[in-house]
Amino acid sequence: MNYEAALEYLHGTLKFGSIFGLDRITKLLDLMGNPHKKLKFIHVAGTNGKGSTTAFISNILIEAGYRTGMFTSPYIQRFTERIKVDNTEISNNELAELVLKIKGKVEEMVSSGFEHPTEFEIITAAAMEYFYIKKCEFVVLEVGLGGIVDSTNVIDLPEVSVITTISMDHTDRLGDTLGEIAFHKAGIIKQNGLVVLYPQEKEAEEVINKVAKDKNAKVHYVDFSTISEKSFGLEGQIFDYKDYENIKIGLLGDHQIRNAVVAIDTCELLRNKGFAITHRNILDGLRKTVWPGRLEIICKNPLIMIDGAHNLEGGQALNSAIDKYFTQKKKIFIVGFLRDKDFKGIMDMLSSKADTIITVTPNNERAIPSAELAQILKMYSENVIDGMSIENGLQIAVGIADKESVICAFGSLYMIGEIRGHYK
């Protein structure tokens, strides 16, 4: 099996849907010798910020000298981005070998009467096996969706569970109240565990506290009150936190400062448990962290920023960043969304900031066609252009941009990944 055949097999399992539950992943990993039971984990759940928080923590552990696996989703450009060891992606050949091995175990499962595992379950199993083969000393594991019955929750007690900010998203799967969504996220809390908690809305925090109390888990509440921002620009931002001075991160936006602080507290708790993580490791790890597709500058002439803002909280972070970094710029938006996202809420917030809005169609069957999106957005703005394809929309934007402009492309990760590919 080569890489292309491996992806074809994986994508072919999409027909089995995205089904909650741990029975299939538990059986599959059991047939593989339970590689996950030989690894140490930091488990990260949340609505927004879990990817960049995962990256911050991973980089700190790498700086501390620990061989560190990182599992994230979705990917921006390459499928292999999802599985990394010490920031190096799994190779195409390694992924193909793992998928071939797992395919045999899946056939064994199905022949014995089990349901066929989903794509996410198979890639989760591949990641577990890979991290075991590579002798990872830590794995920073990002939840796929929810928490309690997400396939990553097959792990036993992690060293630390981390819950980032919780907001309304995936309401069709997780519930239509903050409390219901928080209950799913809190599912990663284990008996006698340790939890790092990003400050939440009262409804969400009460649910998480109850789950933690029921499981005799200790909650560490992150306190943002000691954050002091010192400088910011398109190259990054500098801030102080507690006894850390001049913390530099390359990621833009106030929310990334908060995510970095969550990572700091997580790694301090690991240090309290006896792991060798120094002050300098934390500073260097944060400084070296890169997280693509989130307020990322991909070109300086013309100035182009991409962001995966596809829910209301993500839109709020982008809105704040535009005010912070681009107040004096002429703003050209390239937007493309999937139909099941709250794009109207996002554009209601952001459209007034745009001089021009260009709609495109992301490469996904759930995408809103650009012409339909253009008609909807004319309710919010007078200057809307149907860009049709992503490439054509990008050409239009670059054609009308000048030195005083910023092109902001946001919405679907499928769209920003393609745009990033043109420049990276």
Q: Are 24 and 117 in contact (CB under 8 A)?
A: yes
> Tell me, what's the pLDDT at 61?
98
Q: What is the mean pLDDT of residues 10-33?
A: 90
Indicate if the pLDDT at residue 127 is higher than 80: yes
Each residue of 240-270: pLDDT tens digit?
999 999 999 999 999 999 999 999 999 999 9
> Tell me, what's the pLDDT at 233?
95
Q: What is the mean pLDDT of residues 59-78?
A: 96
Q: What is the mean pLDDT of residues 126-143?
A: 98
Cα dist from 313 to 32, 83, 343, whole Å = 39, 26, 11
* Omega before residue 302 within 30° of 0, cis: yes
> Tell me, what's the pLDDT at 20?
82
> Tell me, what's the pLDDT at 69?
98
Per-residue pLDDT band for 423 (boundaries 50, 70, 90) equals confident
Residue ranges and CATH numbers for the domains of the chain are: 3-288 (3.40.1190.10), 296-423 (3.90.190.20)
Per-residue pLDDT band for 297 (boundaries 50, 70, 90) equals very high
Q: What is the mean pLDDT of residues 354-381?
A: 95
CA distance 364 to 263: 33
CA distance 116 to 19: 11
Query: Of the segments 165-169, 173-177, 239-243, 363-367, which one has the largest average pLDDT value?
Result: 239-243
Indicate if the pLDDT at residue 232 is higher than 80: yes
Nearest to 131, CA basis, from 86, 75, 178:
86
Query: When comparing pLDDT for 142 and 413, which is higher?
Result: 142
Q: pTM score, two decimals?
A: 0.95
> Tell me, what's the pLDDT at 170?
77
Indicate if the pLDDT at residue 14 is higher than 90: no
CA distance 341 to 414: 13
Indicate if the pLDDT at residue 129 is higher than 90: yes
3-class state of residue 354 by DSSP: coil
Residue 338, φ and ψ in degrees, nearest 5: -85, 150
Indicate if the pLDDT at residue 16 is higher than 80: no
Cα dist from 295 to 3, 222, 387, whole Å = 31, 24, 22
Indicate if the pLDDT at residue 172 is higher than 80: no
Q: What letter does residue 40 receive in the DSSP assignment?
A: -
For the chain, how far is it from start to end, CA to CA, in angstroms? 28
The proportion of the chain whose per-residue pLDDT surpasses 90, expressed as a percent, equals 90
